[in-house]
Amino acid sequence: MRWLADECVAAPLVGFLRAHGHDVLYVAESAAGLSDSDVIALALREERLLLTEDKDFGDLVFRRERSIPGVVLIRIGSEAAVLKTARLTSAIERYGEALFGRYTVIEEGRFRSRHLWSDI
């Protein structure tokens, strides 16, 4: 899958995705300091799922109706790196390419996922 990892995502998680064959563009490596609006524009331009831990993207996507290929928001504390990796892996296995076109929240004990309003 094609991902855009926001700079708040830990580098080991990005490395894990890359090691498992995912194409990951990491904001911290290529465009550190981008605004959230610019991150969304980059995800759209590059046709990548946005992987983030920043819940502000929900406001941009739903209240301000910004188009984006898909968002995966991880809501697990930074101290639980192994759990983050396991839960992200489970979400990828469960939803696969259907993550595109959705806003998916990954929590310790559940996934929440809803369709985005607009088609890309």
Q: What is the mean pLDDT of the chain?
A: 94
Express each pLDDT in 55-93 by its tens digit. 999 989 988 888 999 999 999 998 899 999 999 999 999
What is the rounded average pLDDT of the residues 24-34? Answer: 94
The rounded distance, in Å, linking the Cα atoms of 4 and 16 is 14
Beta carbons of 99 and 50 less than 8 angstroms apart: no
The rounded distance, in Å, linking the Cα atoms of 82 and 89 is 11
* CATH code for the part of the protein at 2-115: 3.40.50
| Res 94 pLDDT > 90 | yes
| Res 118 pLDDT > 70 | no
pLDDT band with cut points at 50, 70 and 90 for residue 39: very high
Tell me what pLDDT residue 1 has.
96
Q: Residue 33: is it exposed, middle or buried by C-beta count within 10 angstroms (0-12/13-18/19+)?
A: exposed
What is the rounded average pLDDT of the residues 5-30? Answer: 97
